[in-house]
Structure formats: C-alpha cells, structure tokens
Structure 1
Amino acid sequence: MLVLDRGQPRNAPAAAAHGFLTRDGTPPAELLWIAREQLVPYGVEVRPAPATGAQALPEQALEGFGVELEGGEVVRSRRLLLASGVRDLLPDVPGLRERWGCSVHHCPYCHGWEVRGEPIAVYARGERAFHLTVLLHHWSPDLVLLTDGRAGLTADQSHQLTSLGIEVIESAVERLDGPGEQLERVVFRGGDSLARSALFVGPGQEQQSTLPAQLGCVFTEDGIYVKTEPGGQTSVSGVYAASDMVGPLRQVAQAVAGGAFAAATLNNTLIFADAQRQAARITH
C-alpha cells in the first residue's frame, strides 16, 4: 500500500485540533506524525511526493490505475482512495489570512468552546451569515455580524437576529488588527473600529487536487464536492473518496471515520475480486 501525503493538511494553521476524542487539543502536525508512526507495523509506504495525474489503465493492461508523481514517476494501483480534501477560499481582507486558524476560524464546533464568552464577530453574508451567527450566539452573548456591504438577509432572518440581540454592521471592513496572530480589533473604512478577539468566516471551497476531475468523477450539484455512494465509491469504478472533499463536514473525527469506511469498502472489493479469480483458475 502506498500513501501519498505532502504533509500540508487543511488544518495546518491551527494550533490544535478539537473534537477528536482521545486526541483533543493535539497540534495537527503531531496528529500526522502519530498516524505515520502507526502505519509502520502494517508495511505501509508513505511518500511526500504529490500526485499530478491519474488515469485508468487500458483494458488490456493490468487492472487499476496509473498515477503520475511530481517528477514524472508513474506508479500503478488496483484501487485509488482520494482524500486530498478542499482548499478554503478566504475573504480578501488585510490581516485575515495571517490570523487564519489562530484567531480567525470557520467552525463553531471546532473552535467555539475555546473563545466562549469572548467578543466575537462573524464575517459573512446571506444564508451562510445567518446560519453561522445563530450557531455562535450559543457560545457567546457578545456577538456581531459584519457583512462588509449589503447583508443579503431576509426580513425573517433579520428579525431573528434582532430578537437574539445581535447587531448587523454593513460598513466596509478595511482590515483586521492585533498583535501577531491574535485579533484585537476590526477596522472599518473611515477609521472606526470594533474590539473583537475572534472572527468566524464562511469561506468558499475548491478541491485541493485535480485528480477527481482528471479521472472523470461526478461532482455534487454545487460543483464543489466529489459525489460518492455510501462507502466512498465515486462514479468511477475503483476510485473511492473520503474526507472533506466529499461534503461540508470538516472535523478530523469525521474525516477519519469516512476514510476508515471507504478503506474497508475498497478492501472488501479487492478480497472478493481475488477470490473470484482464484475460483476461475481452479475451474479452468
């Protein structure tokens, strides 16, 4: 078995991963190290080389796929399990990217507890803004919604936010300020500022890797995620997918569970395929 891992997980900027029972608060780099160490007894090879291309082998060749690595080497595999994840498309606000994963977050379930009771801002518009803001009011009563322009809320959504005591500020955001990676204030165009210690955003996503598209995998209607059956099977026979590349659930525990389910399903197909071949050889 070969694992291709560049060692650049989506949660790399975060100081700690949360919501993973028995490993809560562990730095992402440490989780990766532990995972690799635990693969050693099983004879799994881990390479830091990224895959740049993949295609199904022609019918007359061996079953499976050819995967091209950076540098030109091609490796063959009977099955592929894609777990390359998605890339966050962060708002173009000065000071935001530098604080991403430290005092700027996207998931209340990953980082809400750590900033409970603190002055928090949500940076988003429309349905995503409403959903994220209502969720976060559970963690802190000192909450504002920053829409950086027209909020895009329905009358009912605006009414609900007002009833929760949440102010909606449509003023243009100029930058985020604070010492190092810690947010201290949001500065608006014109010079006004708002003291905040945490900001939550609702970024868009895109696939980290082009392999799903190269292989011809069908995507979900929004064009973001790889469409899979239960067990991770994609629309391409022999290609499986797991982690946040197949849906909006973005916690480590969920990625691990999805990967384990997909791996077991994949392994099941290999065992039965080999059993059928063995039976065919005996028959003939």
Structure 2
Amino acid sequence: MIDNKTFDVIIVGGSYAGLSAAMALGRSLRNVLIIDNGKPCNRQTPYSHNFITQDGIKPSVIAQKAKEEVLNYDTIKFLNDFAIRGQKTKNSFEIITENGKKIKSKKLIFSTGIKDTMPEIKGFSDCWGISVIHCPYCHGFEFKGQKTGIIANGNTAFHVASLVNNLTDKISILTSGKSNFITEQTEKLKKNNIEIIETEISEIEHNNGNINNVVFKNEKKINFDAVYAAIPFVQHSNIPASLGCKLTEQGHIEVDDFQKTSIEGIYACGDNSTRMRSVANAVASGNIAGAMTNMELINDNF
C-alpha cells in the first residue's frame, strides 16, 4: 500500500541506478517507493558489456534480476507508473503520477535517465543501440577489426576516432556536411588513414537493426558493420529542473561527489547526471546516492 503514507525516500526511475540506490536504502530499513514505467533508454540494446559478472547479458535480464533482489527487502515498494510532476511541501516532497497518485516523501532520488534526440535519418532509430552505437567501451569490442563509421564532426568526431582507432583500422568519419577539424586534427586523421566523408546522409539500410549500408544524398552507398553516433539528448524527466535542480552546460543534472543536487534533500544518479553512460556506472552512482540519502536522513533525526 502506498496511499496516505509518507515514505522516507521516493526514487523516480527504477532501472539500474534507481534499483541500486533502493538496495542501499532497503538494507538500512528505509521505507522506499520506486516509481518506474519499465521503459529504459537501452531497451533496444541486445547485450550489456563492460560490467563484471554481467558481461554479455541482456540489459532487461540484469534489470529484472536486480528488481527481484531489491524487492526482497520488505521496506521497498514498487509502483508501475510515470511521475509527471513534483513539488516541495512544508516538510516533504510530493510526486504526482500519470495515473493520478500523489505520494509524499522526506527525500527524493532521481534516476530518470536521458532521452536521445534521434536525427532525421531513415533507419537510424531502428539501429540505435544495436549497430548504431555510442560507446567504444560498451560496444566496441564486438566490432573489432570491422568497417566502422563515425557520425560526428569536429572535436567529438576526433575524440571518438582516437578511441576506435585502437579497435579497428577501417574507420570513416561521416560529417554529413562540411567538416570542421583544425589542421592538427586533420593531419592526425590522415596519418591514421581515417577517411572523412562530407556528403550528407539520407538513410541507413539495415536488417533488424544490423547495418547493411549508409546511403548518402548523392545516392552513393557504403557498407559498414557498425556506426558510432554522437547525438544530442534531453533529460527524460523535467521534474528535477522544475524543483530547482541546476543543470550543467551539457544538460546533465549537476551533482557533487556524493550525487547530491543543488537542492537540499534531492539526489540524482545514473545517466541523468554524468557523461559516463554505462550500466556499471549507473549501479555505482546509485549505490552512492542511496547511502548518502540514508546519511542525510540519519543527520536529520539522530
């Protein structure tokens, strides 16, 4: 039951970071409510990597096992719903959900993730997280030695190319318009035999998310096995900002070393508050957020 009850902590977002925070709190006997609607940003990704003990496991399998373990703690409850609004009351916070629930808590943890803004390239979103990828550490090993594209420009493209160059020598940067590398960058790319293609992209041909060809607006096609893409994002939830939490220049929720936001009583963890976007990092930051929220509750009452 969640009605007419003030929880110690409401965790908005019940994926890896949120579940990790909940476990830390549950083990401290805190009354916790996790609110989540079961739509993590990596739900299309077939396998998770670079996380010891879970390497190569499907993300949904990791999340389901984590949820089962967390809900073994009697003080943790789970609500399948979507938080749409939040407000500060006199002595607590209140979260309002899509289904009309109004729930109060002493503290808040946001593990709400981010939402990728897909480019208007046919087939791109179908391949996202499968063969159009964002992180060499999460996905690069699986495409080692294979023909690889990088959809980016300038400093971002140069940085990704330097990382991927260790994994394959078959790299092309697809700027989809005029490139803007400085002279030193252009020289280094040339030295490493990294091709720059400026023609705009119109489509990614694929088979169930696995790339066959990148199609350009001049109708030329080039076969790639994988494509890295640096795309913009927005916060998946606007509640933290509406409560006054500061954002960084990049658009992440600003937190200190202990995952505390600029607003007293509110913590954030996972992809919404860091550029280090991985399941392993989400779990680590969630664990810190849970422990520090518990410490704040202790300081309030001890």
TM-score (norm 1): 0.93
Match of 2:292 among 265, 278, 281: 265
How far apart, CA to CA, are the structure 2 residues paired with 1:271 and 1:242?
Answer: 20
What amino acid maps onto 2:300 in structure 1? A
Asked whether the 8 Å contact 1:87–1:207 carries over to 2, the reply is yes
| Structure 2 gap ranges (5+) | 1-31
- 1:207 aligned onto 2:235: yes
Match of 1:54 among 82, 86, 91: 86
For residues 38-57 of structure 1, the C-alpha deviation after alignment (integer angstroms, 9 at most, x for no partner) is 01221211111111111111
How far apart, CA to CA, are the structure 1 residues paired with 2:43 and 2:222?
Answer: 28
Match of 2:224 among 196, 200, 223: 196
- Displacement after TM superposition at 1:178 (Å): 2.8
- Displacement after TM superposition at 1:272 (Å): 2.4
- Displacement after TM superposition at 1:119 (Å): 0.6
Residue in 2 aligned with 1:125?
Answer: 153
| Structure 1 gap ranges (5+) | 276-284
Residue in 2 aligned with 1:140?
Answer: 168
Residue in 2 aligned with 1:242?
Answer: 269
For residues 94-149 of structure 1, the C-alpha deviation after alignment (integer angstroms, 9 at most, x for no partner) is 11111111111011110000010111101111111111111111111111111111
What amino acid maps onto 1:71 in structure 2? N
- Displacement after TM superposition at 1:184 (Å): 1.1
Residue in 1 aligned with 2:52?
Answer: 21
Asked whether the 8 Å contact 2:127–2:206 carries over to 1, the reply is no
What amino acid maps onto 1:54 in structure 2? G
How far apart, CA to CA, are the structure 1 residues paired with 2:261 and 2:116?
Answer: 23
Query: Which structure is larger by alpha-carbon Rg, 1 or 2?
Result: 1
Structure 1 residue runs of 4 or more that deviate by more than 3 Å after TM superposition? none
Residue in 1 aligned with 2:102?
Answer: 74
How far apart, CA to CA, are the structure 1 residues paired with 2:171 and 2:248?
Answer: 33
For residues 10-48 of structure 1, the C-alpha deviation after alignment (integer angstroms, 9 at most, x for no partner) is 111100111111011111111111011001221211111
Match of 1:232 among 251, 259, 262: 259
How far apart, CA to CA, are the structure 2 residues paired with 1:209 and 1:245?
Answer: 9
What amino acid maps onto 2:50 in structure 1? G
Identity %: 31
Residue in 2 aligned with 1:39?
Answer: 70
Asked whether the 8 Å contact 2:122–2:202 carries over to 1, the reply is yes
Match of 2:181 among 153, 164, 169: 153
3-state SS of 1:45 partner: strand
TM-score (norm 2): 0.87
RCO comparison, higher one (Cα < 8 Å, 6+) = 2
How far apart, CA to CA, are the structure 2 residues paired with 1:6 and 1:84?
Answer: 11
3-state SS of 2:211 partner: coil
Asked whether the 8 Å contact 1:36–1:46 carries over to 2, the reply is no
How far apart, CA to CA, are the structure 1 residues paired with 2:208 and 2:296?
Answer: 50
For residues 208-243 of structure 1, the C-alpha deviation after alignment (integer angstroms, 9 at most, x for no partner) is 001111111011133x01111121111110000111
How far apart, CA to CA, are the structure 2 residues paired with 1:169 and 1:157?
Answer: 15
- Displacement after TM superposition at 1:8 (Å): 1.0
Match of 1:6 among 37, 43, 47: 37
Alpha-carbon RMSD across the aligned residues, in angstroms, is 1.0
